[in-house]
Chains A and B, each alone.
Chain A
């Protein structure tokens, strides 16, 4: 601490150590802030169509892929998840089911990014699936899927945290009602 550079250097070095401590404390504080999120997803209609393409799906070979078109409604209040270390919420509706070949399947039907606390109360009807709803076996036969609302808190600094609402009653994904392309 004798010369000018020594002192400037010492202030800088200690500031760097201190800011990491502060950021660490901010990151850990997210675990002790109480939250009370709640959410519900309900599927209002399911329609299965057969074809080669859907909005986010391409398969170079076959024409007999079965896509499910769903319409959902979401009621959720996630505003308590917005605390001082929440940069954004990523929310997504997930269908979960099992098939004879695959024991656990999860498909994101719809997602959204929420950047403000005031937008975290969601009352939406008539939400169509944003992504192709197609199984890995490309068939929807005798499948019962439940849906739930998931969220991922993206922090300003610190840990990625996840949560989800209770799953709905299983919905039956029926046989295709008609052939469409």
Chain B
């Protein structure tokens, strides 16, 4: 499946953008609608807000991947690497 991962801080930011942008567009839509007395205008503005939010947070933009997590190497891999080193060391010894 499609998995475009973003880092932890990116996830936090994406959450805040989602709630912030949609809420702000909702409030603006309501105010513009009530001033111009046009309910369709409100809904268009709200839908534009959703589209903008989706564009901002759904793709894995680089700005959501600025702080990639530095994972520790897995134990199995570390063990393998250690074993390899030891082997080479013994080889050298024999030579």
Known interface pairs A4-B3, A7-B58, A22-B29. Does A14 touch B19 (Cβ–Cβ under 8 Å)? Answer: yes
Residues of A in contact (CB 8 Å), total: 22
When A10-B15, A85-B39 are in contact, do A4 and B4 touch as well, CB less than 8 Å? yes
Interface of A, helix, strand, loop or mixed by DSSP: helix
**Which residues of A are found within 8 Å of B57, using beta-carbon distances?**
1, 7, 10-11
Q: Residues of A contacting B15 with CB < 8 Å?
A: 1, 10
Interface with A: B46-54, B70-78, B83-91, which one? B46-54
Interface size on B, residues (CB 8 A): 33
Residues in B whose Cβ lies below 8 Å from that of A84 = 33-34, 36-39, 42
Additional pairs, 15, CB under 8 Å, beyond known A2-B11, A3-B3, A22-B26: A1-B6, A1-B10, A1-B15, A2-B3, A3-B2, A4-B2, A8-B54, A10-B14, A10-B57, A11-B57, A18-B46, A21-B26, A29-B34, A83-B37, A84-B37
